[in-house]
Amino acid sequence: MKKAFTLLEMLIAVSLLSIIIIFLYNTYASLQSSNNFYGKELSSASHEQKLRKTIYLDFALSMPDSVKLTHIDKGSDVVILQSSHSVHRRIMPYIAYMIKDGQLLRIESSQELFYPLSGTEEMVIDDLGEMKSFRIFEKESAFLVHLEQNDKKMMLFRTNRLNDVIDF
């Protein structure tokens, strides 16, 4: 009667265990790689959604006749408006969007803004990321926003001014 494993049985068991461990390690490495890839994609999508939401709310909640649009060149506009939407907890802030040195800037101030900015206004400047083109097209109470990032991603969306339909 046999009470122990033979050397051959032990070698086979260790070999099988090694193959299983190598397979599990490769699976783990592949999973880690895909998690990193999808994490970056999710972060990018999240930034784009925040950017789109902020711009959408600024324009949708803008006051009638407050939008001042200045065409700088074929790929850049400067927009100044007053909105009931604030990122920095201001009441009825003045907001400006412009591209400066390839970066899209959102400027929020309690004081009325004029282009070109004098620099004496109390304001908060948010860098919304690299942008190749920022264009706004206005017709009555609707806006068409066209954004093109440096990596050729393009966003195009339309918003209506919501404050026009509210009647007190």
**pTM here?**
0.70
> Residue 103: inside a domain, yes or no?
yes
Q: Which tens digit of pLDDT belongs to each residue from 55-78? A: 999 999 998 888 899 988 888 899
CB 109 within 8 A of CB 125: no
pLDDT of amino acid 107: 93
Residue 7 located in a structural domain: no
Structure tokens at 22: 């190598």
Mean pLDDT of the chain: 86
Tell me, yes or no, whether 65 lies in a domain.
yes
> Cβ(121)–Cβ(111) under 8 Å?
yes
Tokens of 67: 């939008």
User: How many domains does the chain fold into?
Assistant: 1
Task: Flag whether 27 is in a domain.
Answer: no
pLDDT, tens digit (0-9, with 9 covering 90-100), for 19-35 = 999 999 999 999 898 88
Q: Residue 98: inside a domain, yes or no?
A: yes
Strands, E assignment, the chain: 68-73, 76-82, 94-100, 103-109, 123-130, 133-139, 142-148, 154-160
Q: Give SS3 for 31.
A: helix
In the predicted model, what is the mean pLDDT of residues 110-127?
Answer: 86
Whether 32 maps to a domain, the answer reads: no
pLDDT of residue 166: 45
83: number of Cβ within 10 Å: 22
Q: What is the pLDDT at residue 167?
A: 41
Quick one: average pLDDT of 83-91? Answer: 91
Identify the domain containing residue 154 by its residue range: 50-164
- Asked whether residue 107 is assigned to any structural domain, the reply reads yes
In a domain, 19, yes or no: no
Instruction: Map tokens 């412009």 to a residue.
Output: 98
